[in-house]
Amino acid sequence: MASSSGKRFMKLAGMTASIAGKAAKNSFKHFSSDEEKRAEARSDMLKDVGLQIADTLGEMKGAVMKVGQIASQYKDVFPPEVAQALEKLQKDAPAMPYAQIKQQVERELGIPIEQAYAQFEQQPFAAASIGQVHKAVLPSGQKVVVKVQYPDVDKNCDSDLKQVRMALKMTGVLSMSRELQDQIFDEIRDSLKDELDYVKEAQNLAVFGAFHANDAGLIIPKVIKSHSSRRILTLTEEMGETLSVAATWDNSIKQKIATQLFNFSAGQIFELYRIHCDPHPGNFAFRPDGSVVAYDFGGIRSYSDAEVQIFKRFMRHALKADVTALEQDLVTLGIRRSDEVTIPGDFYQQWLEICLKPFSIAPYHSGDFDFGNSQLHHEVMAQAKTALKYFKQFQPSPTTMMLDRTVSGQYWNLVNLGVSIDLSPLVTKYLDE
C-alpha cells in the first residue's frame, strides 16, 4: 500500500493521465471510421482501460480498492467492459503485516494487545479492501473475531473517490448528466464512509440483530463493546462453511439456505426499511442444518415508506404485466427518462419474460427454478443487444442503485449455490403483506 497520501495521489493521477491519453488517441484514430468500427474500437479501448484501473486499484488497499469493488457491482452505471475487469477486485486482498495490525489495535483500544486478548491469531482468516479479520480469545475465554481497519484508510476516502471518478469521466464512460453523476457518486461515498465507521456498524449489528432475533436459522454476530471502537470491531465468533462447500449439500438443505437469504433481504426492505446491501458470498457463512450467518453490516441503505411502497407497486405491476403502469413507476424512480420518445409495450414485456423467471411466477415460469443451470444472465445480455435503440431512454437511479446491487448479488449467490427452488410463495408473502 502506498505509504502516504502524496504517493497515492501520484499513482492515481498517473493512472488518470494515461487513461485520458488512451481515450483521446482512440477518438482521433477512429474519427473517420464507420459507426460499427468506432463501437468495436471503443469496446477494445474500454477493456484495456478496465484492466488498467483494476490493476492500479488492486495494488492499493483502502478506500480506492473498495470504490473499485463497488463500481464492479454497478453494471448499469459503468460499461460492461470496465465492470467486468473490476470484478477481479472482489477477491480477497493480500494480508497486511501483523506488526501494523497490532499497532492499530493498540492505538484504538489504548492497551497492549496481549492485555486486551488472551490469544490473537497473527494470520488473518479474511483480508479485504479496508480491513482484515483475525480470530482471537478474550481474557474471559470467549472466542471472538476481530475486524481491524487498515491505518489511514478513512483519510484517503474523498481523494481516492475523486481520482477514480476523474479517470472514468476522462474515458467517457460516465454518459450521464453532471447532476446524476453527483448523485451516484454521493451515494457511493456515503456507503463507503458508513463502511469505514465501525461505531455505526456496531449500531447496525444491534438493529439487525434485534430485527432477526426470532428468525430461526438467521444468525448475526453480537458486538463486544469493551473491545470495539471506530476502527476495531470485536464480535462473537459465529462460524460456518463457505458458499462453495454449501453448494455440495443436498438440494433440500440448499432450499433452506435460499429461503433464509430471500427472507434476509426481502424482510429487511419491506419490513425494516433498511437493507444490508453487500451480499458478497464472503459476507455469509452456511451450516449443514440450512442456517445462515450474516457478516459485515457496514453497507446499509435506508428507505422511506414512500420509496418502499413504490418498490412494491412496481413488483405488482410487473407480475401483472401492466406495462403502462410499470413505465410510470420507472419514471417515478428516476430510471425512465420522462421525454417524448415512445417505447412499445413489447419492449417491457420481453424484459419481464426474462427477469421474472427466477421468481417462478406464472406465466413466466412455474415450479422450481434451477439456479445452478440458469441462463438468465446470458439472456439479459442477448436482449440488451437487441434493444440498444431504447437504452438512452433509461439511466441509473440513486434510489435503486444499492437495491440493484443487493438483488443481483443474491441472484448470483443462488446461482453459485446451485439450488433448485420455487420462490413464488415467498414473493406472494411479501407483496401481500
Catalytic residues: 278
Q: Is 20 helix (H, G, I), strand (E, B) or coil?
A: helix
Task: Quote the CA–CA distance of 313 and 298 in Å, as a whole number.
Answer: 29
Q: Cβ-count burial of 363 within 10 angstroms (0-12 exposed, 13-18 middle, 19+ buried)?
A: exposed
Q: Which residue has the cell 421468481?
A: 359
All three cell numbers of 248? 455440495
- 69-78: long-range pairs with CB below 8 Å, 24+: 69/129, 70/188, 70/191, 70/192, 70/405, 71/164, 71/188, 73/405, 73/408, 73/409, 74/396, 74/401, 74/404, 74/405, 75/408, 76/396, 76/404, 77/174, 77/184, 77/396, 77/401, 78/168, 78/173
Peptide bond into 398 cis (omega under 30): no
The runs of H, that is alpha helices, within 212-322 are 243-246, 251-267, 305-319
Q: Which residue has the cell 448528466?
A: 177
Q: How many CB atoms lie within 10 A of CB 412?
A: 17
Task: Quote the CA–CA distance of 370 and 373 in Å, as a whole number.
Answer: 6
All three cell numbers of 259? 429461503
